[in-house]
Chain A
Amino acid sequence: MSGATQRQRRYAQLGILLGPVSLFLAIFFLCPLAIMMIYSVLTPGLYGGAEWAFYPDNFGRILGFANPEFEVFDPVYLSIFLRSLRIALTTVAITLVVCYPAAFQVSRLPDRWKTFALFLITLPFFASLIVRLFVWVLILKKTGFANMVLQSLGIISEPADLIYTEGAIILGMVYIFIPFMFLPVYASVEKLDWSLVRASQDLGANGFQTFWRVIFPLTLPGVIGGSIIVFIPALGNFIVPAVLGGAKVMMLGNLIEQQFLSARNWPFGAALAMLVMAAVLFILFFYIRLEGRRGDDAPALR
């Protein structure tokens, strides 16, 4: 058989395999996305909905180029955006600091304990997210468990504001996202070839040098993968701030939800959503560039 027809056949096979998925994604992902994109530059209707006219001021309200005749620029949106970024990045940093050493500990356990530890880490998935978050409300509220303990120990005299703070949101986020960070990090730590660590020591490197030159670069794919998997949903998350941040501390997710549901300003909500997506794409782009430089078949999220 000639090379050309063989290649044609391969393309045909690929088409059959990928066709249904592509169709599904086109209908249920790309179409809604396109609709959102269009909405984000339409004029908000008086009583909800949108009017079919180009309207850049949805973005203008957020980014500061609004035409004062129609909309006012309000820096509160940017500050919510920055707060969301800050919370998401802090969540990534804390989950990483917790999970990275833990992954090494678990990978050195005997096989039986390893399976058990992995089971424990995925255990929270079996309970409803809302229930788990409301437990934190019980713990953190004015008359909650944490305040009770702190007061009875005499550390504070008045109940402290623990809930409805940025700290409470971060706590809840870390709590939810730890398994998402742990699994990819663990996968790359588990794959680490310890004879390379021995080779490094054999060649005169101490523990610190071995870590930075061998262990860290080889587990970096897991670190980056885990960070992305945590960062993206953390940035747009609205359940955690809704439960633990209340009306006081709002994140992008809540703002978008509010625009769509209570304010009924779909175009403005769509514009906010587009900005979140732009931020995520921006970060993914850098990740892919970074991975690309590491070599053609470098492990990514494996």
Chain B
Amino acid sequence: MQPSIVRLERVTKTFALPEGGMITALKAIDLDVRRNEFLTLLGPSGCGKTTLLHSISGFVQLDGGKVSIDGEDVTERPPHRRPVNTVFQNYALFPHMNVDKNVGYALDIAGTDGKERGRRVGAALELVGLSGLGGRLPRQLSGGQQQRVALARAIIARPKLLLLDEPLSALDRNLRQAMQIELKGLQAELGISFIFVTHDQEEALTMSDRLAVLEKGVIQQLDTPRSVYSRPANAFVASFIGASNLFEGAARSDGTDMLVVTPNGEHIRAAGSGTVANGQPVTALIRPEQFSLHNGGNGQPAAFIDADVEQIVFTGLNYQIHGRTPAGRKVVAIIAAVHQREVAEIDAAKKARLTYDPAGVQLIGASGGEP
């Protein structure tokens, strides 16, 4: 099998802070990026995403570990000799050069001859839909156009890998969604791996083949978006990806099901499985969309939570119901807009009985993840 396109082995970076003290931006990171993969690094601001990209492009001097690109050890190689290119967080377009000069920069440096250069710059501009704007200066372009110039500039040298550092965060919502689809298409067309950085979980879920969730310099989970969403490795991942209702408590078995009993006496029912020993600490995760409204009538449901309704937000597709359990814990439920009548009822009553299927409840921290 071919080596992975990028391999990080125990990559570590510590910064000295100006006001004294140290901060470990990367803690012994291991990461394999596959060929032709769209990998997303997702994490809150300051978790080390940019530093991780810089360790691949060569802009940080590592304190330890090894970086290989396409099977070659590049740990000691300066940035200009690494076969990767970057779309920078603020685009970093050269303000004194027009679009043509910006896009052709890598070719000018490499000394590509005029005809070939012209052809490739033209092709790159066409690929990002900017044909005919070669003479403009960056400041004469809109944010979205600048973004495309940065993209064209980064792919013109045919890198083995493209790094994108929050490239869409400065764009408005509509443009961002259009660019998400375009970037995905571009990646397929170029046939190279993308490492895409974002702090927007929706963006990460939409675009990635695989998703690495980063927190405090550690990769918390690396998996496909679906797996990360449905089987979060720990409470941090669960709460960072999608709104979540987390119930920390102790495990107890009632014969058929697992029960998670929280310190203030709530019981969450999770189906079957005796994987967690009695009395073990465990966290139950119920996604907001797993709840439905109990329609009164036919008796007691199998599993439910009662909540006082505090706020109901209508988003068009659905209702977000924000409530509080009698013990004072916040819960969020998402109810499809078709249940308009039931929502109106609980809005009037200010009380809701939220039912859920015990088979859908995830138990976190049962197998190692940080509680």
Using a CB–CB cutoff of 8 Å, the interface residues on chain A facing chain B are: 110-111, 193, 195-196, 198-206, 209, 213-214, 217-218, 294-295
Q: In the bound complex, do residue A201 and residue B79 qualify as a contact, i.e. CB atoms below 8 Å apart? A: yes
Query: Which stretch from B26-34, B88-96, B278-286 is at the chain A interface?
Result: B88-96
Query: Which stretch from B102-110, B118-126, B175-183, B247-255 is at the chain A interface?
Result: B102-110
Q: In the bound complex, do residue A199 and residue B109 qualify as a contact, i.e. CB atoms below 8 Å apart? A: no
Q: Is B57 an interface residue (CB 8 A)?
A: yes
What are 10 sample pairs from A and B whose C-beta atoms fall under 8 A apart?
Answer: A195-B89, A196-B92, A199-B92, A199-B94, A201-B58, A201-B79, A202-B85, A202-B86, A204-B81, A206-B78
Nearest B residue to A218, CB-CB: B96
Q: A201-B58, A206-B78 are in contact. List 8 more A-B contacts (CB 8 A).
A: A195-B89, A196-B94, A201-B80, A202-B154, A203-B153, A204-B109, A213-B108, A214-B94
CA distance A214 to B137 in the complex (A): 15
Which chain B residues numbered 19 to 38 have a C-beta less than 8 Å away from chain A?
Answer: none
B95 contacts across to A, CB distance below 8 A = 196, 218
Q: Which of A111, A195, A204, A206 contacts B92 (CB 8 A)?
A: A195
A196 contacts across to B, CB distance below 8 A = 92, 94-95
Q: In the bound complex, do residue B80 and residue A206 qualify as a contact, i.e. CB atoms below 8 Å apart? A: yes
Q: Is B296 an interface residue (CB 8 A)?
A: no
Q: Is B18 an interface residue (CB 8 A)?
A: yes
Q: Is B346 an interface residue (CB 8 A)?
A: no
Shortest beta-carbon distance, A116 to chain B, in Å? 15
Shortest beta-carbon distance, A234 to chain B, in Å? 29
A214 contacts across to B, CB distance below 8 A = 94
Q: Is B271 an interface residue (CB 8 A)?
A: no
Q: In the bound complex, do residue A204 and residue B106 qualify as a contact, i.e. CB atoms below 8 Å apart? A: yes
Shortest beta-carbon distance, A226 to chain B, in Å? 19
Asked whether A205 and B80 contact (CB < 8 A) given A110-B18, A195-B88, the answer is yes
Asked whether A209 and B109 contact (CB < 8 A) given A198-B88, A203-B85, A214-B94, the answer is yes
Q: How many residues of B contact A (CB 8 A)?
A: 28
CA distance A205 to B101 in the complex (A): 14
A213 contacts across to B, CB distance below 8 A = 105, 108-109
Q: In the bound complex, do residue B59 and residue A198 qualify as a contact, i.e. CB atoms below 8 Å apart? A: yes
B78 contacts across to A, CB distance below 8 A = 201, 206
CA distance A53 to B96 in the complex (A): 54
A204 contacts across to B, CB distance below 8 A = 80-81, 106, 109-110, 157
The 3 closest A-B CB pairs, nearest first, are A199-B92, A203-B106, A195-B92
Using a CB–CB cutoff of 8 Å, the interface residues on chain B facing chain A are: 18, 57-59, 78-81, 84-86, 88-90, 92-96, 105-106, 108-110, 137, 153-154, 157
Shortest beta-carbon distance, B49 to chain A, in Å? 15
Shortest beta-carbon distance, B344 to chain A, in Å? 51
Q: Which of B93, B96, B105, B108 contacts A294 (CB 8 A)?
A: B96
Which residue of A193, A202, A217 has the most chain B CB atoms within 10 A of its CB atom?
A202
Nearest A residue to B90, CB-CB: A195
CA distance A206 to B86 in the complex (A): 16
B105 contacts across to A, CB distance below 8 A = 200, 203, 205, 213
Nearest A residue to B165, CB-CB: A195
Shortest beta-carbon distance, B17 to chain A, in Å? 11
Nearest A residue to B150, CB-CB: A199
A295 contacts across to B, CB distance below 8 A = 137
A202 contacts across to B, CB distance below 8 A = 57, 59, 79-80, 84-86, 88, 154
CA distance A295 to B136 in the complex (A): 11
Shortest beta-carbon distance, B11 to chain A, in Å? 19
CA distance A198 to B84 in the complex (A): 13
CA distance A69 to B96 in the complex (A): 58
Nearest B residue to A202, CB-CB: B86
Q: Which of A193, A198, A200, A203 contacts B157 (CB 8 A)?
A: A203
B153 contacts across to A, CB distance below 8 A = 203
Shortest beta-carbon distance, A61 to chain B, in Å? 47
CA distance A204 to B111 in the complex (A): 11
Nearest A residue to B85, CB-CB: A202
Nearest B residue to A195, CB-CB: B92
B89 contacts across to A, CB distance below 8 A = 195
B18 contacts across to A, CB distance below 8 A = 110-111
A199 contacts across to B, CB distance below 8 A = 86, 88, 92-94
Shortest beta-carbon distance, A13 to chain B, in Å? 28
Nearest B residue to A205, CB-CB: B109
B90 contacts across to A, CB distance below 8 A = 195
Shortest beta-carbon distance, B109 to chain A, in Å? 5
B79 contacts across to A, CB distance below 8 A = 198, 201-202
Shortest beta-carbon distance, B262 to chain A, in Å? 47
Shortest beta-carbon distance, A197 to chain B, in Å? 9
CA distance A111 to B19 in the complex (A): 11
CA distance A110 to B16 in the complex (A): 12
